Amino acid sequence: MSAARKITHWMTPASSHAQRTHIVLLEKNLEFGNKIVDLTNKSDEFKAKYGSVHPVPGASAKIPILEDVDGTTLIESWTIMHYLEYKYPETPLLPKGAAERAKIELFVQLQGASLFERSSAILKARTQAELAVAKAGFVDALKVLNAALRTLGSQDGGDYFAGGQYTLADIAASTRIYRPIVLVEDHFGMDVQRLINEHRLDRLKAWLKAIFERPTFKASIPSRAAMSEKMGKHVVPLDG
């Protein structure tokens, strides 16, 4: 890689999508610099960079953006993750087999937002009855996630989605799942680990431990206290 230039990664630390691409950059040990974006006051430079790639004029600029050393500029986290995998195949983050790769795509499509959506329902609940229903839905999502790991994943050699190999499936899901867990535990009194044990979701338990203890995940996540405080601003008292 050129000594004169590094990959530029436009991001904000709190974003789950930017954390995805950040983890891939770290896993592949690439030279890069994070360019922090203030999404409440987007710079003209950031909007112009996004607009240089997005085909719709005036589209709202989002993170992450990746600008490679050769000038290649991309948006959308899942696209960037695959680009980095193909461009820098050392430290592979996808299995070799077509079926195994397809299962990763399916897992991310089906499960990536499930807990996030359930936690959003908890946030939107306005009565105790609505909150109880939303919490039950969150538990159901944990059960479905456990089943998906068993059905689509592997435990051959380890506890990651693909067993012994850490892949894009683990990266994409971990950043999306961690935030809902923090929200429901810190602000709605749910003990996710207890629920996992109570419902004997053993595959999910092992997987969460593996992905959340990955060094690159820890290196790319804001402090739990800071994240929890930010989430707390969206919590409103129930009616009545």
Please classify residue 122 by burial: count the beta carbons closer than 10 Å to its beta carbon, then call 0-12 exposed, 13-18 middle and 19+ buried. Answer: buried
Q: Where in the chain is the domain with CATH 1.20.1050.10?
A: 98-232
Please name the residue that has the structure tokens 């009565």.
127
pTM of the prediction? Answer: 0.93
CATH superfamily of 7-87: Glutaredoxin (3.40.30.10)
Residue 122 has, within 13 A of its CA and on its CB side, a CA count of 27
238 or 134, greater pLDDT: 134
**Overall average pLDDT of the 222-228 stretch:** 89
Decide: helix, strand or coil at residue 142.
helix
Whether the per-residue pLDDT at 126 is higher than 80: the answer is: yes
Q: Can you spell out the DSSP letters for 84-139?
A: HHHH--SS--S-SSHHHHHHHHHHHHHHTTHHHHHHHHHHH--SHHHHHHHHHHHH
Identify whether the C-beta of residue 69 lies closer than 8 Å to the C-beta of residue 7.
Answer: yes
Q: Where in the chain is the domain with CATH 3.40.30.10?
A: 7-87
What is the CATH topology of the domain spanning 98-232? Glutathione S-transferase Yfyf (Class Pi); Chain A, domain 2 (1.20.1050)
Q: How many CB atoms lie within 10 A of CB 82?
A: 17
**Overall average pLDDT of the 156-184 stretch:** 95
